[in-house]
Amino acid sequence: MTPESGEITISCTSCNATYRIPDQIVGKVVTCKKCRQKFKAEPVSPVTKYPLIGRIALENRLVKEDDLVKALSIQKAIQQKTGKDFPLEDILCKKGMISESQKSILLTTVMRQLDKEFCRIAVRQNKITQEKADQAFAEQAGRFKANRESISVGDILVLSGELTRQECDTILLMQNRIKKEPESTSKGISQVMPDGPPEPEEKVEVQASAETDAPAGEPPAPGPDMSEKIEVLKDKKFFHIRNLDKEFGTIIIEDNLVTRSEVDRVLEKQLEGFQATGIRMLIGNLLVDEGVLTPEQRDTVLAKQKRVISNEDKLGENVVHKDDPAKEGDEPDMTVIETRFRDIDFQISVSQDRMRAFLCRKTVVPESLDVSDIKDFLMDHKIAYGLMDDKMLETFLRYDGYLGKKFQVAQGKPAKSGRSGKIKYYFDTEYLKAGAVHEDGQIDYKDRGEIPHVPKGMLLAEKIPMIEGEKGIDVYGLPVNHEVIRDINLKAGLGVELIEDGQKAFSKVDGQPEASFGGKISVLSELKIQGDVGYETGHIDFDGNVNVGGIVQSGFRVKAASLSANEVMNAEIELTGDLKVAGGIIDAKLNLQGGMKAKYLNNATISSYGDIEIQKEIIDSKIETSGMCIVKSGKILSSDISAKKGIIAGQIGTDLSSPCSLWVGVDSHLNNEIEKIQTRISAFLQQKDELLATEQELSEEDIQLQVDIANYAQVQDRSMIEKRDLEKKMAEESGTMDKESRIKAEEQIHTLIQKGREADETINQLFIRQDNLEERKNKMKNSLKEIEESINDLQNEKQEKLEWSRSQKLSPNVTVTGLICEGTIISGQNSSITLDRSYKRAQIQEVRIDSSRGKDIWAMKVNV
């Protein structure tokens, strides 16, 4: 029936009785009239309103909800026509919605669930204790094993004197497992009362719903042709495996690993194997044996389900045997949980890496508590992966030697590390080795030693592919990530070609090889300038190495792969490689993807990925490098230097100079580079959004044009049809049509012709507009494609730089072989220090001094 406005349907969480109540009561605690148990009034979902057997069928994916609704409609029609209840499971079976074996599973599962519910109600009403309920279930299982006798838990409790027949029948009545007496059915009205003094609007008389959660009367006895299947399917563990395996099958179908027919076939094979041998086989193992699934695919799905994996092969050497219990205190950093289960004290311990779980029982356990109960208990605490096999868990429960001792109950699967990709070079990539340093500190680039030079067709580099790691699984069934590994790609610059799917790089020309940032390899030609870079040469922009015999004069720019010169004066230098200056650099601005060497720096601004190596001194300069700053025998005065890998100097500061500010372990240079890239990405994203908005407007305009064209085409067609009709009429009535009618018809035809022409002209104009619009849309698409490619390139560049930074080994510190003066500021990632006095031969580095309060405390430490 359709709910009235302001009313909802609720269901008792204990006995599943349903009621119609005003929606103002939603969320309040109410008392069920049938079982007198309290529950929170919540609207029933479309699924929970179905009878129990229907819900079980849905939960186990035996039927679709649409099919269940149809079956319930048929059941209702039969009841209205005959006045008799026809079992829902029989309707499902007769209509081909479930098989006979599935029907037996449903019936047995319903009976088991109702028995569990029976005991829960009896315990809540203080009719019996949980211990008595456990004993009744144990006796029920024992009778079935001994002589295949099926008896309800209620009957066992009556026979043992724990319940009277009246008490038993009262609970069965609550469950709708037996019919009410005739006089009891005439009442028809139940009251659901909120706890506490009710407000006037909360008092409501509601009609007890005819919907129930179990079939009326006792569950029908199976026919003789089904009795054998029902008996084998009453095996508790097989039921558990069977239901989980159906879910397993659904997952692998959704993941496109198998077809529905393959799952149905292997489920039938599982059932037949169990009936024949009594062996409980997982369908995952069957599919692996058949080569349909890989072991990895099976284990991934089992982990999703938080399934128990009890294969000792999975546990390897970590299996704890009964004569090798884990000793107390052997894991100092374990997570320990003290808990109670079935009135028994347990202690659960999980190792810090979540690879091992231990259980300690404090008392003897009753026979009614079996391995399945322990597994359920562990799963309640989310321990679901790598459980020990049943025999070992049974030994833990029954062997008194384990009383008070920790026993390993689960073992995770550790992650396996892989190997990052790398590039193997077949030429010397350290260009700064070239150039001898004389005793006076002058760098002589005429004495360059062996300069790398390669002929055409030479193998320059090859990629060593990464090896994928393998994720692990902890005892909670959660993935354990392996160490992050990264791949790297060879990139071809000028004079280089890639072969073998980008695995090898060969030179296309003779020249000097260069490996630049991000794995890009080039073979460069050389531009030699005999004198200075000045007015005679102009600015230099060259895709290769530039060798300047003189100086780079003030006000000029050099953009190249690498540069060597005698001096650099107030110039702008941008290089993808290295800078080598025999003398000094004054007032210059340098942006380098490599490193540099020079005699001295004065008022220079440098941004560099590589090391900065200076012979004499650095004065009034600002340096940001992802490498080191090295002035081994020289001085650093009045400068700001950020060097991720550290600073080495002969002297830092003087008594008269301004203090230096130094940063180590902090990559200010790369942070600025990443910020620049992100700014460019943001600008492109804004352009993309603007283009997408314009594209949307163009699409809407195009749609309107199509509508207009269609409308005018209809006008044109109607005009043609009306014109033909008039012409036909005039021809047919040529002898009888009077002059006035003929003139009127001719005027109408003329009007229709004119109307058609105007529509045709309008359509042509619309087509022209549509063509122009299409051209604009195509240009828009090309622009969007270019922007997306630019964004992708920038994101890749950003990622490459971040990965490069992470790959650099660090032990950053400031090392001074001479004097470091008072007032010098040294900062690291987490702390800083301003020297309160001068030191000689000192090393300053950031150290962790305390982590006892859950938060690391760092400080800069001076070692002399």
Identify the residue whose tokens are 């990629």: 463
Percent of the chain whose predicted confidence (pLDDT) is above 90 = 21
Torsion angle of alpha carbons 221, 225, 231, 234, nearest 10°?
-70
307, part of any domain: yes
| pLDDT score of 188 | 34
Which pLDDT score is estimated for 177?
Answer: 74
CB 432 within 8 A of CB 609: no
Q: DSSP assignment of 206-253, as one string? A: EEBPS--SS-SSSPPPPPTTTHHHHHHHT-HHHHHHHHHHHHHHHHHH
Between vectors from CA 304 to CA 301 and to CA 305, what angle results, nearest 5°?
90
Query: To which residue do tokens 């006895």 refer?
Result: 221
Nearest to 576 by CA among 493, 640, 654: 493
Please tell me whether residues 679 and 664 are part of one structural domain: no
The long-range contacts involving 802-810, CB below 8 angstroms and separated by at least 24 positions, are 802/670, 802/674, 803/486, 804/517, 804/518, 805/626, 805/644, 805/667, 805/670, 807/420, 807/486, 808/626, 808/644, 808/645, 810/644, 810/645, 810/665
177 plus 95 within the same structural domain: yes
Q: What is the mean pLDDT of residues 395-406?
A: 84
Q: Tell me the sheet residues that pair with 290.
A: none
Radius of gyration for the alpha carbons in the chain, expressed in angstroms and rounded: 42
pLDDT band at 325 (very low <50, low <70, confident <90, very high): very low
Residue 370's SS3 state is coil
Indicate if the pLDDT at residue 621 is higher than 50. Answer: yes
Q: Indicate whether 536 and 653 sit together in one domain.
A: yes
Average pLDDT over residues 551-557: 95
Of 570, 523, 557, 566, the residue nearest 543 (C-alpha): 523
399 closest CA partner among 346, 310, 324, 322: 322
For residue 790, the one-letter residue type is: S
Q: Is 5 or 832 the better-scoring residue by pLDDT?
A: 832
Of 225, 251, 273, the last residue of a domain is: 225
Neighbours of 494 (CB within 10 A): 17
- Give, in order, the Cα–Cα distances in Å from 379 to each of 208, 246, 357, 376, 476: 37, 19, 12, 5, 9
In this structure, the strands spanning 407-411 and 356-361 are antiparallel
- Same domain flag for 665 and 710: no
Q: What angle, 0 to 180 degrees and rounded to 10, lies between the N-to-C axes of helices 100-124 and 236-254?
A: 120
Q: Which amino acid is at 311?
A: N
Q: Which of 655, 671, 687 is the last residue of a domain?
A: 671
> Within 13 Å of residue 483, how many CA atoms lie on the same side as its CB?
9
Q: Are 9 and 20 in contact (CB under 8 A)?
A: yes
Instruction: With cut-offs at 50, 70 and 90, classify the pLDDT of residue 447.
Output: very low
The pLDDT score that the predictor gives to residue 233 is 45
DSSP 72-119: HHHHHHHHHHHSS---HHHHHHHTTSS-HHHHHHHHHHHHHHHHHHHH
Question: For the residues 558-564, what does the mean pLDDT come to?
Answer: 92
Q: What whole-number distance in Å separates Cα of residue 617 and Cα of residue 629?
A: 11
> Which SS3 state, helix, strand or coil, does residue 640 take?
strand
- Note every long-range contact of 529-534, with CB atoms under 8 Å and residues 24 or more positions apart, other chains counting: 533/558, 533/565, 533/571
Instruction: Encode pLDDT of 167-192 as tens digits.
Output: 888 888 877 777 654 443 333 323 33
| 250 and 348 together in one domain | yes
Asked if the model's pLDDT at residue 582 lies above 80, the reply is: yes
Lowest mean pLDDT among 155-164, 602-611, 832-841: 155-164
Is 437 contained in some domain? yes
Per-residue pLDDT, averaged over 628-650, amounts to 94
pLDDT, tens digit, 9 for 90 and up, residues 659-695: 999 999 888 888 888 888 889 999 999 998 898 888 8
Determine the pLDDT at residue 227. Answer: 40
> Is a pLDDT exceeding 50 seen at residue 336?
yes
| Confidence band, pLDDT 50/70/90 cuts, at residue 306 | low
685 vs 739, which has greater pLDDT? 685
Task: Provide DSSP, 321-355.
Answer: -TTSPBPTTS-TT-EEEEEEETTEEEEEEE-TTSS
Predicted pLDDT of residue 852: 59
Name the 3-class secondary structure at 780: helix
Whether 318 is covered by a domain: the verdict is: yes
421 within some domain: no
Q: 650 and 778: one domain? A: no
Q: What single string gives the DSSP state of each residue in 396-443?
A: HHH-GGGTTSBEEEEE-B--B--B--EEEESS---GGG-SEEPTTS-E
Burial of 101 per CB tally in 10 Å (0-12, 13-18, 19+): middle
Strand-pair category, 526-529 with 491-492:
unpaired
Cα separation, 561 vs 548, whole angstroms: 13
CA-closest candidate to residue 27, choices 16, 39, 37, 36: 39
User: Which H/E stretch holds residue 463?
Assistant: strand 459-464
Is the domain of 307 the same as that of 436?
A: no
Instruction: Answer whether residue 477 is part of any domain.
Output: no
DSSP string, 11-32: E-TTT--EEEEEGGGTTSEEE-
Identify the CA nearest to 92 among candidates 115, 139, 58.
Answer: 58
What is the b/e burial string over 628-656, where b = at least 16 CB atoms within 10 angstroms of the residue's CB? bbbbeebbbbbbbbbbbbbbbbbbbbeee
Tokens for 488?
A: 């790297």
In terms of average pLDDT, the best of 442-446, 450-454, 702-706 is 702-706
Q: Identify which has the larger pLDDT, 595 or 73.
A: 595
How many separate domains does the chain show?
5
Same domain assignment for residues 43 and 181: yes
Amino acid at 743: I
More confident residue, 229 or 506: 506
Cβ distance 547 to 564 under 8 Å? yes
pLDDT for residue 526 = 85
8 Å CB contact between 717 and 760: no
667 and 682 in a single domain? The answer is no
- Asked whether residue 559 falls in the same domain as residue 596, the answer is yes
- Tell me the pLDDT tens digit for each residue of 71-114: 887 887 777 666 667 788 888 887 778 877 677 667 767 777 78
pLDDT at 115: 84
Strands 612-619 and 628-637: parallel
Give the integer Cα–Cα distance in Å for 374 and 397. Answer: 9
The answer on 220 and 362 residing in a single domain is no
Predicted confidence at residue 448, as pLDDT, reads 41
- Structural domain contains residue 472: no
pLDDT tens digit sequence for 769-801: 888 888 888 898 899 999 998 888 888 888 878
Higher-pLDDT residue of 571 and 45 is 571
Strand partners, 96: none
Share of the chain above pLDDT 70, in %: 79
Last residue of a domain, one of 671, 701, 723: 671
Evaluate whether residue 635 is within a structural domain: yes
Is the model more confident about 762 or about 585?
A: 585
Chain-wide mean pLDDT for the chain? Answer: 78
Q: Is residue 417 part of a domain?
A: no
Q: Give the best-scoring range by mean pLDDT among 163-177, 268-282, 343-357, 650-664.
A: 650-664
Point out the least confidently predicted range of 33-37, 95-99, 270-274: 33-37
Assess contact for 359 and 396: CB atoms under 8 A: yes
- Provide the pLDDT confidence category of residue 519 given band limits of 50, 70 and 90: confident
Q: Could you count the other beta carbons within 10 Å of the beta carbon of residue 235?
A: 17
CA atoms of 351 and 330, how far apart (whole Å): 10
**Is residue 297 a contact partner of residue 250, using CB atoms and an 8 Å limit?**
no
Residue 654 has pLDDT above 80, yes or no: yes
Helix (H) or strand (E) holding 729: helix 668-732
Its domain, for residue 739, covers 674-801
723: CATH: 1.10.287
- Give the residue-averaged pLDDT of 324-347: 66
Has residue 491 got a pLDDT over 60?
yes
Report DSSP letters for 811-851, one per residue.
Answer: ---EEEEEEE-TT-EEE-SS-EEE-SS-EEEEEEEEEEEE-
CA–CA separation, 666 and 640 (whole Å): 13
Helices 100-124, 130-147: inter-axial angle, 10-degree rounding? 150
Task: Check whether residue 536 and residue 610 sit in a common domain.
Answer: yes
Cα angle 477, 482, 484; round to 5: 140
For 410-437, the pLDDT digits (tens) are: 999 998 888 888 889 888 876 544 444 4
Work out the pLDDT band at 598, boundaries 50, 70, 90. very high
Residue 838 has pLDDT above 90, yes or no: yes
